[in-house]
Amino acid sequence: MIRNEECIVLSNQEIAHNIFELTLKGELVQQMNEPGQFVHLKVSGSVDPLLRRPISIAKIDQENNMFTMIFRAEGNGTKLLAQKKVGDVVDVLGPLGNGFPVEEAKAGSTALLVGGGIGVPPLYELSLRLKERNVNVIHVLGFATKDAVFYEEKFSELGETYVVTVDGSHGEKGFVTDVISAQNLSFDTLYTCGPTPMLRALEATYPEKNVYLSLEERMGCGIGACFACVCRTQDDPTGYTYKKVCTDGPVFKGGEVLI
């Protein structure tokens, strides 16, 4: 069930250049059941910025009613969010959307988790859940440069982890797809979140695999009412069929929607 709640800031720290890790406390954590879902945040009480901001849930702690997000302070809204102090409140609408299906990866099988930039965060809770189910996890995490890298150690604790930077300043140089082929990584299920070109490349490279992609789109309402976030489906690319990223996604099965 979607809830709207004023959550309390437990911590907000810069963990890499302009990358913040924000932990909130609230009852709505009890509704968070799938990794890959997101919340819609009102970052200010004023009319500017007006709209909520969609941010993925990176870690869920239901026992303590806590959840963590990782975001890049970039524009107006996320910069304001970066200034939130311990004890401040944030108006949260969520959890929203459909997350990654963990049950698609069988115990003993291998899941490859590929993230790009601020697409990396939702993979963390996903990886935790997969580990719990005795799935082998391999992570390939792409970042722009060394100072944008985060959570490398945390992911390493859960499984084999490769970090890639575009400029080669940390880890391998190049794109996530380069590493997957260079390392000859084999897997049964692929879960990915990140820039659209990356998702497109992965979908095209592994048509025969079980692939799940998390998409990004500009949003108005975040709950399916405004039709801002629609995309077309692959089996009806020019017709009237559509999917809403906010409620049908943000996670889609490879081959389902046009990206």
Partner 1 sequence: MSQLAVNLPGLQLKNPIMPASGCFGFGREYSQFYDLSTLGSIMIKATTVEPRFGNPTPRVAETTAGMLNAIGLQNPGLKKVINEELAWLDQFDVPIIANVAGSLEEDYIEVAREISKVSNVHALELNISCPNVKTGGIAFGTIPEVAKELTKKVKEVSSVPVYVKLSPNVSNIVEMAKAVEAGGADGLTMINTLIGMRLDLKTGKPVLANNTGGLSGPAIKPVAIRMIYEVSQHVNIPIIGMGGVQSAEDVIEFFYAGASAVAVGTANFVDPLVCPKIIEELPALLDELGFDHISECTGRSWKKNEKLAYHRA
Ligand X SMILES: Cc1cc2nc3c(=O)[nH]c(=O)nc-3n(C[C@H](O)[C@H](O)[C@H](O)COP(=O)(O)OP(=O)(O)OC[C@H]3O[C@@H](n4cnc5c(N)ncnc54)[C@H](O)[C@@H]3O)c2cc1C
Q: Which residues bind partner 1 (CB under 8 A)?
A: 1-2, 4, 42, 47-52, 93, 217-232, 239-240, 242, 247
Distances 115 to 30, 62, 134, 177, 195 between C-alpha atoms, Å: 26, 25, 21, 11, 9
Q: Which listed range, 96-104, 121-129, 195-203, 224-232, lies at the site for ligand FES (CB under 6 A)? A: 224-232
Per rule CB under 6 A, is residue 225 in the interface with ligand FMN?
A: no
Per rule CB under 6 A, is residue 41 in the interface with ligand FES?
A: no
Per rule CB under 6 A, is residue 39 in the interface with ligand FES?
A: no
Q: Which listed range, 22-30, 60-68, 103-111, 225-233, lies at the site for ligand FES (CB under 6 A)? A: 225-233
* Strand ordering across the sheet containing 19-25: 53-56, 38-42, 89-96, 3-16, 19-25, 66-72, 59-61
Per rule CB under 6 A, is residue 59 in the interface with ligand X?
A: no
Which one-letter amino acid corresponds to residue 208? E
The residue sitting closest to ligand FES, measured at its beta carbon, is: 246
Per rule CB under 6 A, is residue 246 in the interface with ligand FES?
A: yes
d(CA 197, CA 244): 20
Per rule CB under 6 A, is residue 220 in the interface with ligand FMN?
A: yes
258 CB neighbour count, 10 Å cutoff: 13
Nearest Cα residue to 76 out of 39, 33, 41 = 41
Per rule CB under 6 A, is residue 76 in the interface with ligand X?
A: yes
Interior angle at CA 2, CA 194 and CA 191, nearest 5: 25
Per rule CB under 6 A, is residue 222 in the interface with ligand FES?
A: yes
- Least distance in angstroms from the C-beta of 210 to ligand FMN: 35
Of 86, 204, 226, 258, the one binding ligand FMN by CB under 6 A = 226
d(CA 191, CA 208): 14
d(CA 129, CA 110): 13
Query: Which residues are near ligand FES by CB under 6 A?
Result: 219-222, 224-229, 244, 246
Q: Which residues bind ligand X (CB under 6 A)?
A: 38, 49, 51, 53-56, 69-72, 74-78, 118, 121, 216-219, 250
